[in-house]
Amino acid sequence: MNLRRRKFLRLAAGAATAAAVARTAHTQALDFPARPVRIITHSAPGGSPDALLRIVADRLSQMWARQVLALNHPGAGGAVAARTAAAAAPDGYTLYMPASSAFVTLPGLQANLPLEVPRDFVPVGFVGEQPFFILVASSLGVATLAEFIALAKKRPGEISYAATGRGTLSHLAGEALQQRTGIKLLMVPYLGGTAQALNDVMVGRVPMVIDGYPPLAGALQAGAIKALAVGSTARLPDFPDVPTAAETFPDFKVRGWLALVAPVGTPDAVVRKLSEDLRSAVTDPATKSRLETTGNYPHPMTPAELLAFIHAEQQMWKPVLEQIARNP
């Protein structure tokens, strides 16, 4: 057999193998899921990410006629969940729904965080964003964000704000506000979470908090705290009288978000099907309404769009993280 013929046969065999692999992946996608799917969260049961996951999981279970299980792996600031998900088989049957803090956090604060995509996980799709509110105690005596900034400039370093720990999104939001406006605030960490912080805010012990809607809902509805602004790109339908922070400081936005990702090596065809089905799930009118009731707003994205979004968020927060690292 001459050299040219052997080369041709090798190329033909390689093409046949590639075609067989492609057919197998396509068949896997058509049949997916053939058994229950597990989605890992870093949240404890009852937490905001856990509640959001269960809403999405309910809809996917209905669509697939297969059970979608929420697996809670709290601990180490999200690192436990990240390690567990990364070690799962890359077959689409174990997925990971991390909050933005898993991607945008202080390097070195937690082992294996922040995450990098596509190095650590394959992006699947965007689940929803949770705009953060800038709120103050009524006793502070300010009614707008501009009034708060003016007061803070008169009292540099005297006004404190509650954050749910160093390096968390609430901490980053407070630091970003200071960088953008030239004010100086005092961060008070609450390892017990927003509920603990909220008690001190309502009595005026700590006059300010920046956080998402779910843990603040009761206090907001009761008028115990005053919403000065929200970090969304546009006013929220449920809060038409609350201006966006960008109305005072253009392009200033603060929001938490959740995304769905899969272990590296998950077949492209399965990732595409997961992404398309996730889009259908979060845009389903009943599911969308349930999400928005909890302060989460769906914005479907393709895997490529999600990859670009995560990288943009990481770049946006980079100067804030560097400032925190310089001044621990």
Determine how many CB atoms are found less than 10 A away from the CB of residue 299: 14
Across all residues in the chain, what is the average pLDDT?
89
Q: Which of 260, 291, 282 is nearest to 94 (CA)?
A: 260
- How would residue 2 be classed by pLDDT, with cut points 50, 70 and 90? low
Q: What is the model's pLDDT at position 18?
A: 46
Q: Which of 127, 132, 131, 64 is nearest to 288 (CA)?
A: 127
Q: How far apart are CA 279 and CA 273, in angstroms?
A: 10
**Token pair 């007061």: residue:** 151
Question: What are 238-285's pLDDT values in tens digits?
Answer: 899 999 999 999 999 999 999 999 999 999 999 999 999 999 999 999
**Token pair 């604060």: residue:** 109
Fold designation for 131-247: D-Maltodextrin-Binding Protein; domain 2 (3.40.190)
Q: Which of 317, 283, 313, 299 is nearest to 129 (CA)?
A: 299
Q: In sequence order, what E strands does the chain have? A: 37-41, 68-72, 94-96, 121-137, 160-163, 186-189, 208-212, 225-230, 255-263
Residues 136-153: what's their mean pLDDT? 95
Please report, for residues 72, 209, 293, 326, the alpha-carbon distance to residue 106 in angstroms, rounded to integers and kept in the order given. 23, 20, 30, 11
Q: What percent of the chain has pLDDT over 90?
A: 68
Q: Six-digit token pair at 248?
A: 């005072």
Q: What percent of the chain has pLDDT over 70?
A: 91
Q: What is the model's pLDDT at position 31?
A: 87
Contact present, 269 and 246 (Cβ < 8 Å): no
Determine how many CB atoms are found less than 10 A away from the CB of residue 154: 9
What is the widest separation between alpha-carbon atoms in the chain? 91
Q: What is the model's pLDDT at position 17?
A: 52
Q: Which of 203, 202, 210, 195 is nearest to 161 (CA)?
A: 210
Q: What is the model's pLDDT at position 20?
A: 47
- DSSP assignment, residue 122? E
CATH architecture of the domain covering 28-129+257-326: 3-Layer(aba) Sandwich (3.40)
In terms of C-beta density within 10 A (0-12 exposed, 13-18 middle, 19 or more buried), how is residue 249 classed? Answer: middle
Q: How far apart are CA 161 and CA 171, in angstroms?
A: 9
Q: How far apart are CA 270 and CA 105, in angstroms?
A: 29
Please report, for residues 26, 29, 117, 120, 232, the alpha-carbon distance to residue 91 in angstroms, rounded to integers and kept in the order given. 13, 10, 18, 15, 35
- Topology alike, domains 28-129+257-326 and 131-247: yes
Residues 53-82: what's their mean pLDDT? 94
> What are the sequence ranges of the domains in the chain?
28-129+257-326, 131-247
Helices and strands per DSSP (H, E), number in the chain: 10, 9
Determine how many CB atoms are found less than 10 A away from the CB of residue 17: 10
Per-position b or e across 231-244, b if 16+ CB within 10 A of its CB: bbeebbeebeebbb
Question: What are 179-199's pLDDT values in tens digits?
Answer: 999 999 999 998 777 778 888
